[in-house]
Amino acid sequence: MYRKLFILLLPLFILNCGDGKTYEQKINDYNFYVAKADSLFNVNDYTGAVKYANTAIALTDTLSAGFIKKGNACYELNWLDYAEENFDKAIKIEGKTSKVYKLRALVHLKNNDSNFLDDINVYIKNHPQDEEAIELRRDYYEEKNHLGNAILEYSNAIKKDSENVNLYAKRGELYFKNGNYEKALEDYNTVLVFNPEHKLIINKKKNLETLIFNNRNRNRFIILLIGIYILYLPLSFFVLKPLVAKKAQNQIGGNLTVLKDPLVWALPIILSLVFITLYMMDFTPNFN
């Protein structure tokens, strides 16, 4: 911790002592230190990059390049709080159209911080052609199980690259996870148009078709059982009850009122048990 603070603060202490240089000379020095920080960053000497970026910032804090170089180096060193702090300063200098929003979004992503979406959305709004940023947001939605948003991202990607088999395959998986089986099947079929020998998709399509078939069959069976009960109600009240009452009257004489028909109220339970038993034993009749 002390070593980190020493690296960050030493150049500031040295330069704040004053050297009598003109503003133009300081800007030239600033650009030199920024370039040096950049060259060290490119050879993975991130600690050295922080030192030179600090030296540049000590010359002037009105330019964003030093903060960006320092933020990038801190990000690689996993000093995420310092990285975010420097990107904040760069954004304040550059404004809403700053490309640094993407860099700060990466810090939030590494921190598993939901502010990632705020920053990446601002960035994409101002830089809509950056496919890498769009893919980052798409992956985030997918990882966080925001299936609707992830599907929309893949749909937008397909509009731009309509022959990309991987995009259809991935969207098909997301449709499947989201319960949109028909849409998933459409995407699997599209993949097989481009690549008929795609074994993974062939197997997924086969399994999905079986699932769709079974779901349809189950739903039709349920509808049939409900229909039987609905038809039985008027039959029970308007046909069977009067017959029972008439037969009782003929046998015992006098008037007899049948108040309840236990079978009417028990029938839903009976039908439900029939359905559950057949379904669990995989004996559901085929209604397709």
| Average pLDDT score over residue span 202-228 | 82
Pairwise CA distance, residues 63 & 99, whole Å: 14
Q: Give the pLDDT confidence of 116-138 residue by residue, as tens digits.
A: 999 999 999 999 999 999 999 99
Residue 12 or 286, more confident:
286
At residue 256, does pLDDT exceed 70?
Answer: no
Q: Give the pLDDT confidence of 157-169 residue by residue, as tens digits.
A: 999 999 999 999 9
Rg (CA), the chain: 35
At residue 63, does pLDDT exceed 70?
Answer: yes
Pairwise CA distance, residues 21 & 105, whole Å: 37
| Average pLDDT score over residue span 176-201 | 95
Task: Tell me what pLDDT residue 275 has.
Answer: 67
Of 90, 91, 83, the residue nearest 107 (C-alpha): 83
At residue 207, does pLDDT exceed 50?
Answer: yes
Q: What percentage of the chain reaches a pLDDT higher than 70?
A: 74
91: left (phi over 0), alpha (psi -120 to 50) or beta: alpha
Q: Give the pLDDT confidence of 10-21 residue by residue, as tens digits.
A: 454 444 445 567
| Average pLDDT score over residue span 18-32 | 81
Rounded to an integer, what is the distance from CA 109 to the centroid of its chain? 13
**Ordered structural domains, the chain, with CATH:** 1-94 (1.25.40.10), 219-280 (no CATH)
Pairwise CA distance, residues 80 & 70, whole Å: 11
Task: Tell me what pLDDT residue 14 has.
Answer: 46
SS3 assignment, position 139 = helix
205: tokens are: 């399509």
198 DSSP assignment = -
Residue 38 or 254, more confident:
38
Residue 237 or 47, more confident:
47
| Average pLDDT score over residue span 205-233 | 78
Of 169, 278, 268, the residue nearest 225 (C-alpha): 268
